[in-house]
Amino acid sequence: MKELKETLWKAADKLRGSMDASQYKDVILGLVFLKYVSDAFTERRAQITAELEADGLDEEQIDAIIDDADEYIGHGVFWVPAEARWGYLAKHAKGKAAEAGEPPKSIGEIIDTAMAELMGANKALDGTLPRIYNRDNVDQRRLGELIDLFNNARFTGHGVSKARDLLGEVYEYFLEKFARAEGKRGGEFYTPASVVRVLVEGLEPTGGRVYDPCCGSGGMFVQAEKFLEAHNKEGSDISVYGQELNERTWRMAKMNLAIHGLNGNLGSMWGDTFARDLHPDLVADYVISNPPFNIKDWSRNENDPRWRYGVPPIKNANYAWIQHILAKLSPAGSAGVVMANGSMSSNSSGEGDIRARIVEADLVSCMIALPTQLFRSTGIPVCVWFFAKNKSSGATDRAGQVLFIDARNLGYMIDRAERALSDDDIAKIASTYHAWRGSDSAVAEGLSYEDVAGFCKSATIADIKAADYALTPGRYVGAAEIEDDGEPIDEKIARLKKELFAQFGESERLAAVVREQLGRI
């Protein structure tokens, strides 16, 4: 798998010199997708042929059945028209010469046609695939070389589901690489995987309607599908709904869902969630989201019915996102939302009053302070809000309480600029929340909740009110207990003083040696 990823990343580098990161991202991801659907189609075609031959059908009979689109679509494989198949593209990687009165075609024109035909043959892909390959800024020679290089990458050989898993991994790998290459803008379409997992593992979305009002490239939905797979459930157990403002990102998300076999409703087109909610009547069981932080220029309407807890300020949309999400939740719904740390304590422009009303409405379930440097695209510290319309679970009723988790000391550095949470870190956070909620998974694992100084604390709404409704975990969890090493404090102080004075003495001796040596020069 590592070799496949590296091969494809080298392919991306083929076009790096002729366009910027955001442009070649669209070119490469579109080709990866086209390569996948073609390989999956070819493999399914071979399976159909083998099955029909085993049934004793002759070549003529097979030819009459082999092009039945239902034989492919019914098995989760996209129907690929003849001129959109990879073999056809590879044959004309250097372009197509004029023939039968038709003008010559560049490889870019051939790929654009392939994308159009693929979308025309598969309703789920309508309006999704890029048609940008025949533009002046795309080097046709390099594009042809790219097609040749892709011939060395195969996504099949282990069944269609395995092929989809492989491509899904490649697609996510590329999204991460492109997000790093694009810097700050990369954060608009990509949320680090470990942060997404904190949300998904905490919420445990096992079925129902899952919504993300600013879905980026669809990473929240993909992680939800992985959660289902890990718990022996099908992706069809959830219904996906999303909205995205940026056209190119919206197309990436639709492709991402198609790759992972998720039938998602991302609206008929891209659009601003505040200006025009594309899912106005949606009642969601889960909302999983990473809204853009601290937006200053947003479509604000003071009379919007979503502002049940107060009108958000003009210069910051944080509490607009929170209230939009709360407005979408079903009576038993829950949500996990990434926010800038300022959202936990800000009192400017009425935000403190809005937060107080949300707390008093008993909608906040858990607050998590995350470590710094999780987002390469921003240095803003972040937190996670968990909301729950119903805080009772089995024998456990957490009405009137909020769990605070201080996870700032967790994680490890990937490199000098970026941190990630390990599997153990994510499990520690999620299991603490599940134990506190008394969820079915916690009961099954025999987990019980206890406050841990410096890490987690269950506080009452009265406690929060006394803190002026600030929701910063550090205010509640306190300091971690210092481990008792068995040495009496008086003896420890005396020992440390003796060691310190000995170090002072050694320092003075070395300084005298240095002065003596310098005096001889």
DSSP 19-41: S-HHHHHHHHHHHHHHHHHHHHH
Tens digit of each residue's pLDDT, the chain (521 residues): 667 677 767 766 766 666 766 677 788 888 888 988 888 898 899 999 999 999 999 988 898 889 999 889 888 889 999 999 999 999 999 999 878 778 899 999 999 999 999 999 998 888 889 899 998 888 888 889 888 877 766 655 555 455 556 667 777 777 777 766 665 554 456 788 899 999 999 999 989 999 999 998 888 998 898 888 888 777 678 999 999 998 888 988 888 888 787 878 999 889 999 999 999 999 999 999 999 989 999 999 999 999 999 999 999 999 999 999 999 999 999 999 999 999 999 999 999 999 999 999 999 999 999 999 888 767 778 999 999 999 998 779 999 999 999 999 999 998 887 899 999 999 999 999 999 999 999 999 999 999 999 999 999 999 999 999 999 999 999 887 655 566 777 777 888 888 888 888 888 888 888 888 888 77
Q: How many other CB atoms are found less than 10 A from the CB of residue 431?
A: 18
Classify strands 329-340 and 382-388 as parallel, antiparallel or unpaired. Answer: antiparallel
d(CA 152, CA 131): 24
d(CA 352, CA 316): 13
**Angle between helix 140-150 and helix 21-54 axes, rounded to 10 deg:** 40
Q: How many other CB atoms are found less than 10 A from the CB of residue 199?
A: 28
- The pLDDT value recorded for residue 433 is 97
What are the φ and ψ backbone dihedral angles of 27, each rounded to 5 degrees?
-65, -50
Q: Is the CB of residue 37 less than 8 Å from the CB of residue 118? A: yes
Q: Locate 413 and state its tokens.
A: 């550095």
Among candidates 247, 398, 383, which has minimal Cα distance to 322?
383
**Angle between helix 160-182 and helix 2-13 axes, rounded to 10 deg:** 50
- 3-class secondary-structure state, position 300: coil
- The pLDDT value recorded for residue 23 is 73
What are the φ and ψ backbone dihedral angles of 418, each rounded to 5 degrees?
-140, 140
Q: Provide the residue type at 498 as one letter.
A: K
Exposure string of 456-474, with b = 16+ CB inside 10 Å and e = fewer, is bbbbebeebeeeebbbbbe
Exposure string of 110-123, with b = 16+ CB inside 10 Å and e = fewer, is bbbbbbebbbebbe
d(CA 346, CA 338): 16
Instruction: Provide the whole-model pTM.
Output: 0.81
CB-neighbour burial class of residue 274 (10 A; exposed 0-12, middle 13-18, buried 19+):
buried
- The pLDDT value recorded for residue 495 is 83
Exposure string of 140-163, with b = 16+ CB inside 10 Å and e = fewer, is bebbbbbbeebeebbbbeeebeeb
- The pLDDT value recorded for residue 186 is 45
CB-neighbour burial class of residue 104 (10 A; exposed 0-12, middle 13-18, buried 19+):
exposed
* SS3 per-residue string spanning 281-295: CCCEEEEEECCCCCC
The three-point CA angle 182-222-249 to 5° equals 35
Q: Locate 190 and state its tokens.
A: 């990509």
Among candidates 445, 171, 114, 73, which has minimal Cα distance to 105?
114
* Sequence-ordered list of residues with C-beta below 8 angstroms from that of 417, at least 6 positions apart, any chain: 373, 376
Q: Is the CB of residue 170 less than 8 Å from the CB of residue 9? A: no
Q: Locate 303 and state its tokens.
A: 């009379």
The three-point CA angle 75-76-79 to 5° equals 95
* Sequence-ordered list of residues with C-beta below 8 angstroms from that of 79, at least 6 positions apart, any chain: 41, 69, 72, 73, 121, 122
